[in-house]
Chains A and B, each alone.
Chain A
Amino acid sequence: MFACLHTPGNLPLLVECAGYFSPFIEETADGTVVFDIRGLRLIYGTPEQIAAAIERRMGLKANLAIATNPDAAIHAARGIAGITVIAPGREAKALAPLPLYLLGGSSEFARTLDTWGIRTFGEFAALPPLGIAARLGDEGVAMQRLARGQGDRLLRVSKDPLEFFEEFEPESTLDLLEPVVLLLGRMLNDLCARLRAHALAVNEIRVRLKLERAPDHVATLCLPIPMLDAQVFLKLLQLELDARPPQAPVERIRLDLKPVEPRTTQHGLFLPASPEPEKLEITLARIRALVGAANLGTPELVDTHRPDSFRLTHLRILQTSLVRAGIPATSQEPVLQNPVAGDTNRAQRHELPVRVIACLASFQKLILRRFRPPQHAQVWRGTDGRPSRISFSKGDGRVIDCAGPWRTSGDWWTGEPWDHEEWDVEITSATAGGVLRVHRDCRRGEWFVEGSYD
């Protein structure tokens, strides 16, 4: 059974009233709502008693119709004043006196029926279906079924988008962070309980603080994975507000949580342990407050030949775990290059010490430690053009041996071109001896120490 309420210009009130009886509500048009009342018999009794209950709840004058299908209820509510209860199987008789314009349809359809002298539902319903199909097509057949009260469509239920937000306006402005955090904790508990009831999680938290005589303070936390833990959220917000406190007393707090599907993970029995995402987020937030957001993350190489090019991204525990579990990685990562075959021969050929040959299995890849930014250096060249002495901020020394030059350049088509002449040099110095990588900036003619091999 379906009930339809109709009164022009009072849609919000109608929706509110319908919501009291059913969660399945269709907002058919401005001033018309139809809703499902199946199952109310156990509470209110017969359809007449249900209609009486709806009328009491409504509180204002509106047409109410109850029928076995939504279309019959809508037409009855629009065409018959007061309360109408149509018993099953009596729809055609109940709708017969209604004027045909209530049926809707295209203007051509209405003009054709008017030409034929058809004015009411009953007259249209009495026409032979085959003739209607031949002259008016599918639209005519569908309209005739509606005129007979034989509609069988489902409700087009209007669902409110799920929004999870809370607002609070304290009686007096809040000067300290502690009461703000206390209120946020209470709001988070309520919102998380609602989210849990909908089996949802959160991947973004936004706090908007309305400040006294100052622009609003907005703090947004983007979580790398969906979570649902009010304590974790509160700690993250507290760390964020500690790092960037509002600059004026708080007048109003609004907290928005963005709902998403919760994550589902299947942990492998033989996979190495990984940090717990919730706990790691708090740790990262604390470290972020300590060293700054720009100094924390996972390094990612950039597809360029420019020296020292990388970017920092967020550590993605879940995605990396999936890769470890056997799902192919999306990015190509370098693989550990084992010592090539024939190292022993090569070492013997180059007369490495005996003890080195004995431990050839422990060949390692030489790593560069970078000076950021590269240290400006003064380099003296010998008669052969090779560096003979280097002086820079960390010390100076005589060059024992060197290798180079290697010319590298690129990005000449952009505003930041680079053109280097690189050398590997070994210097002896009381303070900063070592093997360095230096380069000459050919565009500026200056020398820099990029780093040391360590």
Chain B
Amino acid sequence: MATLAAVHPATAISRNEPEFLGSVLGGIPIGALTEIAGPASSGRTTVLCALLAEATAGGGFCALIDTQGAFDPASAAAAGVRLSQVLWVRCGGNAEHALKAADMLAQAGGFGLVALDLADTPAKISRRIPLAAWFRLRRAVQNTKTALVSVGACFNASTSAALKIELARDRAVWRGRLLEGMEITARRTRHHQSRLETFVARR
């Protein structure tokens, strides 16, 4: 598992490997597009907030483009996200505006993580996003220190994504009359190689 903390920079360069942001599910590549997809209640936002928490804990600034305005600051703060380092853009359900905002923020530079949340956008709309738009987003962060993450119900970016993480809820864990959390299975696909991981999202 290659993480920023574990891999010596010289080693990373010699293997021509990109740097990785965070350690959630093995981290996400910096300077590339990562797609996170899954149905509702599959842990997509949990993974996203874990990434935001790791990115902001290191002192970086993050941008969250929230298409539906579903982000819950209280949950995120409880998960360790430093809210003062997060720029939150609410797009009122307009996916086109969300894509434009993501493009502008990626072009602006300086953000450690730019996250595009299309999770509640209907698949028929998100699938309509042209591949050129994803390619443009990928190029905007290429050779920069910004990691770009897209969260959706399905994969849309095709080959523009350097890493794809597919999430599924195994089951909700109940303890007595309490919701303990959820068991999540993640399939991480990179360079046509898949790896299964499981984690627990605890309330």
Whether the pair B183, A353 counts as a contact (CB closer than 8 A) is yes
Known: A271-B59, A275-B109, A372-B69. A365 touches B49 (CB 8 A): yes
Docked pose: A432 CA to B39 CA in angstroms: 9
Interface of B, secondary structure class, is mixed
Whole-angstrom distance from the CB of B16 to the nearest CB of chain A?
A: 23
Which residues in window 72-111 of B have CB below 8 A to A?
A: 72-80, 82-92, 94, 97, 100-101, 104-105, 107-111
Which residues in window 357-374 of A have CB below 8 A to B?
A: 358-360, 362-372
Whether the pair B41, A435 counts as a contact (CB closer than 8 A) is yes
Task: Place the interface of chain B in its size category.
Answer: 35 or more
Q: A135 at the A/B interface (Cβ < 8 Å)?
A: no
Docked pose: A316 CA to B39 CA in angstroms: 35
Whether the pair A297, B200 counts as a contact (CB closer than 8 A) is no
Docked pose: A324 CA to B80 CA in angstroms: 16
Q: A355 at the A/B interface (Cβ < 8 Å)?
A: yes
Q: B29 at the A/B interface (Cβ < 8 Å)?
A: no
Whether the pair B61, A352 counts as a contact (CB closer than 8 A) is no
Docked pose: A163 CA to B91 CA in angstroms: 40
Whether the pair B75, A356 counts as a contact (CB closer than 8 A) is no
Whether the pair A363, B112 counts as a contact (CB closer than 8 A) is no
Q: B128 at the A/B interface (Cβ < 8 Å)?
A: no
Docked pose: A170 CA to B6 CA in angstroms: 65
Q: What residue of chain A has the Cβ atom nearest to residue B110's Cβ?
A: A275
Question: Mask for B43-54, Cβ within 8 A of A = 1, else 0?
Answer: 111111110010
Looking at the complex, which of B7-15, B134-142, B168-176 is the stretch in contact with chain A? B168-176
Whole-angstrom distance from the CB of B44 to the nearest CB of chain A?
A: 6
Q: B160 at the A/B interface (Cβ < 8 Å)?
A: no
Docked pose: A404 CA to B202 CA in angstroms: 17
Docked pose: A287 CA to B87 CA in angstroms: 12
Q: B178 at the A/B interface (Cβ < 8 Å)?
A: yes
Q: A345 at the A/B interface (Cβ < 8 Å)?
A: no
Docked pose: A292 CA to B76 CA in angstroms: 23
Docked pose: A451 CA to B39 CA in angstroms: 14
Q: Which of A297, A337, A368, A424 contacts B88 (CB 8 A)?
A: A297
Q: What residue of chain A has the Cβ atom nearest to residue B58's Cβ?
A: A272
Docked pose: A424 CA to B58 CA in angstroms: 33
Whole-angstrom distance from the CB of B113 to the nearest CB of chain A?
A: 11
Whether the pair A272, B45 counts as a contact (CB closer than 8 A) is no
Whether the pair A366, B202 counts as a contact (CB closer than 8 A) is yes
Whether the pair B89, A295 counts as a contact (CB closer than 8 A) is yes
Q: What residue of chain B has the Cβ atom nearest to residue A429's Cβ?
A: B40
Task: Place the interface of chain A in its size category.
Answer: 35 or more
Docked pose: A434 CA to B153 CA in angstroms: 13
Docked pose: A236 CA to B100 CA in angstroms: 18
Interfacial chain B residues near A436, Cβ < 8 Å: 41
Docked pose: A452 CA to B74 CA in angstroms: 14
Q: A336 at the A/B interface (Cβ < 8 Å)?
A: yes
Question: Mask for B138-160, Cβ within 8 A of A = 1, else 0?
Answer: 00000001000000000000000
Docked pose: A280 CA to B109 CA in angstroms: 8
Question: Mask for A411-439, Cβ within 8 A of B = 1, else 0?
Answer: 00000000000001010000011111000
Docked pose: A91 CA to B133 CA in angstroms: 85
Which residues in window 364-386 of A have CB below 8 A to B?
A: 364-372
Interface of A, secondary structure class, is mixed
Interfacial chain A residues near B200, Cβ < 8 Å: 347, 352, 356, 360, 362-364
Docked pose: A280 CA to B85 CA in angstroms: 14
Docked pose: A106 CA to B183 CA in angstroms: 90
Q: A231 at the A/B interface (Cβ < 8 Å)?
A: no
Interfacial chain B residues near A366, Cβ < 8 Å: 46, 75, 181-182, 201-203
Whether the pair B97, A403 counts as a contact (CB closer than 8 A) is no
Whether the pair B40, A364 counts as a contact (CB closer than 8 A) is no
Whole-angstrom distance from the CB of A325 to the nearest CB of chain B?
A: 9
Interfacial chain A residues near B44, Cβ < 8 Å: 454
Q: A286 at the A/B interface (Cβ < 8 Å)?
A: yes
Whether the pair A336, B45 counts as a contact (CB closer than 8 A) is no
Interfacial chain B residues near A352, Cβ < 8 Å: 173, 183, 200
Whether the pair B86, A299 counts as a contact (CB closer than 8 A) is yes
Question: Mask for A304-342, Cβ within 8 A of B = 1, else 0?
Answer: 000011101001110010011000010101111101000
Whole-angstrom distance from the CB of B79 to the nearest CB of chain A?
A: 4
Q: B180 at the A/B interface (Cβ < 8 Å)?
A: yes
Whether the pair A295, B46 counts as a contact (CB closer than 8 A) is no
4 closest Cβ contacts across the A-B interface? A336-B80, A275-B110, A434-B41, A362-B199
Give 20 new A-B contacts, CB below 8 A, not counting A298-B84, A301-B74. A272-B112, A275-B111, A276-B108, A280-B110, A283-B108, A286-B104, A298-B86, A300-B83, A331-B84, A333-B82, A333-B83, A336-B80, A365-B202, A366-B46, A367-B49, A369-B70, A404-B177, A435-B179, A453-B203, A454-B43
Can you list 27 A-B pairs with a CB-CB distance of less than 8 A?
A272-B59, A272-B60, A274-B60, A275-B61, A280-B108, A283-B105, A290-B100, A295-B90, A296-B90, A298-B88, A299-B88, A308-B74, A352-B200, A360-B200, A363-B199, A364-B49, A367-B201, A368-B45, A369-B71, A369-B119, A434-B39, A434-B169, A452-B40, A453-B182, A453-B201, A454-B42, A454-B43
